Amino acid sequence: MSTEQPLIVTETDLERLRQVIDHNGGGRTAEFAEMLDAELSRARIVASETVPPDVVTMNSTVVFEDEQSGERREVTLVYPRDARTDDGRISVLAPIGSALIGLSVGQSITWPLPGGRTKRLRIVAVPYQPEAAGHYHL
């Protein structure tokens, strides 16, 4: 779990994500909740109105590239209850979802996956960010 630059998370996302972590601290998602918690602990917290438009926030649509394979994917980062992988809506508790939160366009991160593998992901674009669109209550 390493990035070259700090993460940026909004106050609203932090508050909601802490609730997700608390709710998922046990059972099969506990490991992913711990990884998300570790990421949030190193984030710079900003007001929703001041988050740069190229930062991945909750409910953002993001294009990322797997730097090993060159494969690009476009997904929407959502809370666990809204996740539908068939629709490209990935949970922030999924390994890739936890990796994306708080990154900015151009940033890369090396992230552990189940089975001892890692992926190096780079943010290519954030076509939709709720805050940039003035949608502060999603």
Q: Where are the domains of the chain?
A: 2-128
> Are the C-beta atoms of residues 80 and 24 closer than 8 Å to each other?
yes
- How wide is the angle at C-alpha 54 spanned by C-alphas 52 and 55, nearest 5°? 75
Distance CA 104, CA 54 (A): 5
Distance CA 88, CA 110 (A): 21
**Fold entry, domain 2-128:** Chitinase A; domain 3 (3.10.50)
Tell me phi and psi for residue 103, to 5 degrees: -80, 155
In the Cβ-directed half-sphere of 89, how many Cα atoms lie within 13 Å? 10
Tens place of pLDDT for every residue, the chain, 138 residues? Answer: 444 468 999 999 999 999 999 988 777 778 888 889 988 998 999 999 999 999 999 999 999 999 999 999 999 999 999 999 899 999 999 888 988 999 999 999 988 877 888 889 999 999 999 999 998 776
